[in-house]
Structure 1
Amino acid sequence: MKGEYKTKARKCIVDFLKEHADRRFTVREIYDQISTEAGGIDKTTVYRNLERLSDQGEIIKIKEPNSDSWFFQYSEDHKHCNSHMHAQCSECGKVFHLEEDFVEEFEEKVRKEYGLDVNLGKTVIVGKCDDCKKKD
């Protein structure tokens, strides 16, 4: 972005989210992980940087049902996360980007059967992943 400068806080946030690109985190979780490394960063700075990164498409911001918190996830490899659906493991929190063919079929069926236009970027299917099922 023209005129944008990269601060140490921003770099710490992006680096942390890149390292855990298959997970979503709250502002508090991100702050707790990077506050020492970023040297005196406050939670407001983290939140402000997350909002900017979200607006730029570098991370995604999702409000999940049954939660008062917003969640943030690195998405540089998925710049169009607002145009497809996700699935998330209810145990470990891992996020999966769903296949376009599946999403189109699902979207069309919901539209036909219920007259509902699905907001793909905010739709998350929750279940238990194979790795977590193996742990049981």
Structure 2
Amino acid sequence: MRTEYSTRQKRELMAFLENHDMKNFSLDEIVFSLQGAGAQIGRTTVYRTLEALAEAGSVRKYQNAQGITQYQHVADASRCESHFHLLCKQCGQLYHVDCDFTDTLAKHILAHHGFRLDSSQTMLVGVCAKCAGLEEDRDGVDHDQPCDHGV
């Protein structure tokens, strides 16, 4: 059994992640930010700690559109279990989709295709409203808010 240690480096990394909750960073961006703030922490230490946090569920790990691994701190890991995610292939931003329609889709796929989706791992790839040039005042929709389809 592996023992968990609370090192200064791990505490500094956790503080950085908690201060940037739900924001996406590459390994190098995290290392650069930590070292720029005066932390004496190596790339390997950051990588190993991020991998352990991803395995524990407090950090989401995914590949952005450019194939670069991104890490996103999730304060409430259970929050990601109940919805899909959208990944913009232009800017790499990861969005959470709080929408009843995705539940309907998951139920349909199970009932008609015999396949149970893992919502926490389900990611749809496309182009976000900002990159697509869709403005709230043009189409009347706030693209960052949960939707209500009456489903």
Question: What is the TM-score with the length of structure 2 in the denominator?
Answer: 0.66
CA distance in 1, matches of 2:78, 2:9: 22
CA distance in 2, matches of 1:116, 1:97: 22
Change (3 A) 1:17 1:52: same
SS state of the match for residue 87, structure 2?
strand
CA distance in 1, matches of 2:73, 2:103: 24
Amino acid paired to 1:59? V
**Aligned-residue identity in percent:** 29
Unpaired segments ≥5 residues, structure 1: none
Q: Which residue does the alignment assign to 1:133?
A: 132
Q: Which residue does the alignment assign to 2:30?
A: 30
Q: 1:114 Cα deviation (Å)? A: 3.2
Q: Which residue does the alignment assign to 2:44?
A: 44
CA distance in 2, matches of 1:91, 1:19: 25
Amino acid paired to 2:106? E
Q: 1:124 Cα deviation (Å)? A: 0.9
Across the two proteins, how many residue pairs are aligned to each other? 133
Contact 2:85 / 2:122 at 8 angstroms: preserved in 1? Answer: yes
Q: CA RMSD in A?
A: 3.1
SS state of the match for residue 95, structure 2?
strand
Change (3 A) 1:63 1:114: farther
Amino acid paired to 1:62? Y
CA distance in 2, matches of 1:102, 1:47: 36
Structure number with larger C-alpha Rg:
2
Unpaired segments ≥5 residues, structure 2: 135-151
Q: 1:78 Cα deviation (Å)? A: 4.4
Q: 1:107 Cα deviation (Å)? A: 0.8
Question: What is the TM-score with the length of structure 1 in the denominator?
Answer: 0.71
